[in-house]
Chain A
């Protein structure tokens, strides 16, 4: 399994042609206390770079973009009960959704963890 990152602060972890998507620790820190996550239902078609989910913090609503194109297979049911999981475990139990990937070539523009850390340090 390998994990990659986007400049919009999403992470994506691949396992064959399946992937799990969430937002990074940096992103949750910027958003602040999260009170609601609106997730795509299973079967939703995703387009790389387009809206996939909405995170509501105490401050504001923020869009989360899909790092790849594909189809949602499962939304994280735990976030309905406990959206604060995104604050406490953004890169673990606070994952957003799982999807199948339709175009493996889209992975080319993603950052490795080391590269993403460098990117965040420069912000």
Chain B
């Protein structure tokens, strides 16, 4: 893994060749329109973005997110510290306190508190030799690996599982569908994970996702991925869904997209991700970016990530200026038309004095001024399954 570190330091400007993922042929056979995304050919849509979006909100959508980096961290025998303790120096979440089978959303932060990536950490428990699992953004995985390798002790082994596909099954019928194929999976609740078996293939299933719906992410060996995807879409409640609807779904759910709503120039407090900074670790410190985050909490932020609800039908896209009268007070970081709500919505960073819910602002789109109101997120309520009440 040291080679990766060296590679990142001697980065060349040559564009890497576009990669293909385990389900490439499967997507094409199922009518996907493929585009380049995060260095891979990925399906942007099958039947149409709005139809796929609505299907996910009403039934169950199958997404291929195999471009994401599936990593594990484990400490070698006799190591001075375990993987959780070592990882806690690089991110603000309580990882040491994560029980087996539990997951946590967290962030890799730079020295100045800038967000290097957002990710999920899982305590994989005894099933995986006490390893920690991490799922990171596809476009960031090589940078993440270099950053982790640079800052973690040599006695922590870091492995990229690029021999596994990652599928997401999302929507109100996802649990019933998956229970039929993988009995017992319905017992998981939101942000819990466990190992399962499907026709001899080892699956690692998490009850999580990025659409705001109840659903699962399923790590499956690449050799079994197409057969497993076929078994899922053989159920009439399931249809494949592309990246286009994945983006409109996560936008409605108020979930930030790395590289757009989060970047090394934004810190977690301004981004409204204070929940990812556990109280215990905020107080204890000892992680990169702690100083910046503590001062943001104490002194407030110059700007904040907010939701904006637009009137009319014209969407505001990334980069559009957010205005208060004639003064620019912010910028849109992602925006589009919400199929569920029937009007455009956006996320923006706005000066804190204009960031309160209900504040009336406007957005400049090609010289037109669109009325926009600061609104709480999610725009469409989350429907995570947290167990029977």
Contacts and interface: CB of A to CB of B under 8 A. Distances in A.
Interface of A: 32-33, 35-36, 38, 54, 56-61, 83
Contacts of B337: 35-36, 56, 58
B7 interface: no
B314 A58 contact: no
Contacts of A59: 44, 49, 244
B48 interface: yes
A59 B313 CA distance: 14
A82 to B, nearest CB: 10
Contact of A33 (B44, B48, B313, B366): B48
Nearest to B245: A58
B250 interface: no
B314 A33 contact: no
A38 B336 CA distance: 15
B49 A33 contact: yes
A34 to B, nearest CB: 10
Contact of B366 (A54, A57, A58, A60): A54
Contacts of A60: 317
Interface of B: 44-45, 48-50, 53, 244, 248, 313-315, 317, 336-337, 339, 344, 366
A1 B50 CA distance: 36
5 contacts: A32-B48, A32-B49, A32-B244, A54-B366, A57-B49
A35 B315 CA distance: 8
A34 B45 CA distance: 14
A58 B313 contact: no
A38 B45 contact: no
Contacts of B314: 36, 38, 56
Contact of B313 (A32, A35, A61): A35
Contacts of B336: 58
B339 A38 contact: no
Contacts of A83: 313
A14 B244 CA distance: 37
A85 to B, nearest CB: 13
Contacts of B317: 60-61
B245 to A, nearest CB: 8
Nearest to A54: B366
A32 B45 contact: yes
Contact of B244 (A35, A56, A58): A58
